[in-house]
C-alpha cells in the first residue's frame, strides 16, 4: 500500500459515523489516505485479514469512473486510488488506460467481503476448528494404538516383563520386583492388567470421540450453526471432568486445556448467542449483515477524496 509522501495511512472503523461539519459548509476534502487515523480499542480483524489475503478492491480494470464510483475509487492524475471494501484503506495504483471494462461494476454486482463481526466470527471459529483438528489427530492416533495393543496384548506383555526383569537383575542387582512399580512402569502394569475386551472398548471410544472432534472442526471451519451447538455441548459436558482432574492431580497442560475449553464455551454462548441468549442467532446475523451493507461502508468514509498533485505511482 502506498500513500502520498509525508502523510500517515488512513484507518477508520467500519460502521463509525462520518465527521460532522458546521451547517452550510461543505465537507473538508482530502486525498485518499491522508486523514488522521482513528484509534482502535480492539483487535483489527480487517487489517489482519488484508495482511494475509490482500486488499479487497472492487475493480482495478475500468477505464473511467462515474460519480457513483467515488465511494470505491478516485482518479488523481495518473494515479487511481482504490478503496478496500474490507479494511477501508485507500490503495494507490497506476491509472489503467487500456482496461477491458468501461466502468467499475454497479454496487449490486459487487460482493462485499466479510468485515466487522462477521469477519471476527469466522476467524475465531476457524481458530477453534484448528484446536479440534489437533484433538482429532491425537485421539485418533491413541485409539489406533490401543486397538493395535489389544490385538497383540499377550506377546507384548510377555516381552515387557522379560525386558523389565533383565533391567532389574542387571542394574539393581537384587531380587526382581513384581509389584510396587511407580511412574510409567506402574501405568504399563495397569494397562497390561486390563482385559482385551476392555482395551477394545477404550480404543473404539477414543476413535468415536476423535470422529466427533473432526466433525466439529469441519463445521466450525465453514461457520455452520449446527457445529456451534455441537461444539458447545461436547465441550461443556467435559468441563466438570476437567475440574475434577485438576483438583486431584492438576498439571500446567491440564489447566491450560481447561481455560481454552472454558473460553470456547463462553464465546459460543454469549458472542454467538446460542439457545436464544441475547436475542438469539437472528439478532446476531442482522448485526453482521448490517456491518456489510453499503450504507455502513459509506458511513465509514471520513472525508471526500479531493484532487492533489501526485506523481505517477508504479505498480
- Edge-to-edge strands, sheet with 73-76: 73-76, 79-83, 90-94
CA distance 112 to 71: 13
Measuring CA to CA, how many Å separate 160 from each of 17, 142, 191?
72, 19, 12
Which distant-in-sequence residues (6+ apart) come within 8 Å of 230 by Cβ?
212, 215, 216, 219
Phi, psi angle pair for 112, to nearest 5°: -75, 125
Predicted local distance difference test score (pLDDT) of residue 27: 47
- Phi and psi for 227 in degrees, rounded to 5? -70, -30
Residue 18: pLDDT band by 50, 70, 90 thresholds? very low
Global pTM?
0.73
| Cβ proximity of 7 and 34 under 8 Å | yes
185 falls in which pLDDT band (50, 70, 90)? low
Q: What is the pLDDT of residues 131-157, one digit of tens each?
A: 999 999 999 998 898 888 888 766 666
Q: Give the phi and the psi of residue 23 in degrees, each rounded to 5.
A: -55, 140
Please check the confidence at residue 55 and state whether its pLDDT lies above 90.
yes
Query: 57-81 pLDDT, tens per residue?
Result: 987 888 889 988 988 998 888 888 9
Mean of all residue pLDDT scores within the chain? 78
- Going from the C-alpha of 24 to that of each of 8, 27, 188, 298, the distances in angstroms are 29, 10, 84, 21
Amino acid at each position: 500500500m502506498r500513500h502520498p509522501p509525508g502523510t500517515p495511512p488512513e484507518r477508520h472503523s467500519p460502521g463509525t459515523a462520518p465527521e460532522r461539519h458546521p451547517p452550510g459548509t461543505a465537507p473538508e476534502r482530502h486525498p485518499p489516505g491522508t486523514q488522521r487515523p482513528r484509534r482502535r480499542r480492539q483487535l483489527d480483524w480487517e487489517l489482519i485479514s488484508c495482511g494475509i489475503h490482500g486488499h479487497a478492491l472492487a475493480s482495478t480494470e475500468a477505464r473511467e469512473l462515474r460519480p457513483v464510483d467515488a465511494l470505491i475509487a478516485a482518479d488523481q492524475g495518473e494515479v487511481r486510488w482504490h478503496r478496500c471494501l474490507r479494511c477501508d484503506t485507500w490503495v494507490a495504483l497506476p491509472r489503467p488506460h487500456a482496461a477491458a471494462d468501461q466502468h467499475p461494476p454497479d454496487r449490486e454486482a459487487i460482493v462485499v467481503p466479510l468485515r466487522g463481526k462477521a469477519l471476527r466470527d469466522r476467524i475465531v471459529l476457524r481458530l477453534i476448528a484448528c484446536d479440534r483438528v489437533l484433538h482429532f489427530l491425537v485421539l485418533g492416533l491413541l485409539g489406533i494404538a490401543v486397538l493395535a495393543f489389544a490385538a497383540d496384548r499377550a506377546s507384548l506383555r510377555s516381552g515387557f516383563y522379560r525386558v523389565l526383569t533383565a533391567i532389574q537383575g542387571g542394574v539393581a542387582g537384587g531380587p526382581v520386583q513384581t509389584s510396587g512399580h511407580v511412574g510409567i512402569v506402574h501405568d504399563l502394569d495397569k494397562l497390561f492388567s486390563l482385559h482385551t475386551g476392555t482395551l477394545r472398548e477404550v480404543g473404539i471410544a477414543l476413535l468415536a470421540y476423535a470422529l466427533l472432534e473432526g466433525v466439529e472442526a469441519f463445521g466450525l471451519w465453514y461457520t455452520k450453526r449446527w457445529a456451534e451447538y455441537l461444539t458447545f455441548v461436547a465441550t461443556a459436558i467435559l468441563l466438570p471432568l476437567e475440574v475434577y482432574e485438576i483438583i486431584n492431580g492438576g498439571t500446567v497442560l491440564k489447566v491450560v486445556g481447561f481455560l481454552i475449553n472454558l473460553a470456547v464455551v463462553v464465546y459460543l454462548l454469549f458472542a454467538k448467542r446460542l439457545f436464544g441468549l441475547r436475542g438469539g442467532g437472528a439478532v446476531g446475523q442482522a448485526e453482521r449483515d448490517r456491518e456489510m451493507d453499503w450504507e455502513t461502508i459509506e458511513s465509514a468514509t471520513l472525508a471526500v477524496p479531493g484532487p492533489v498533485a501526485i506523481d505517477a505511482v508504479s505498480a
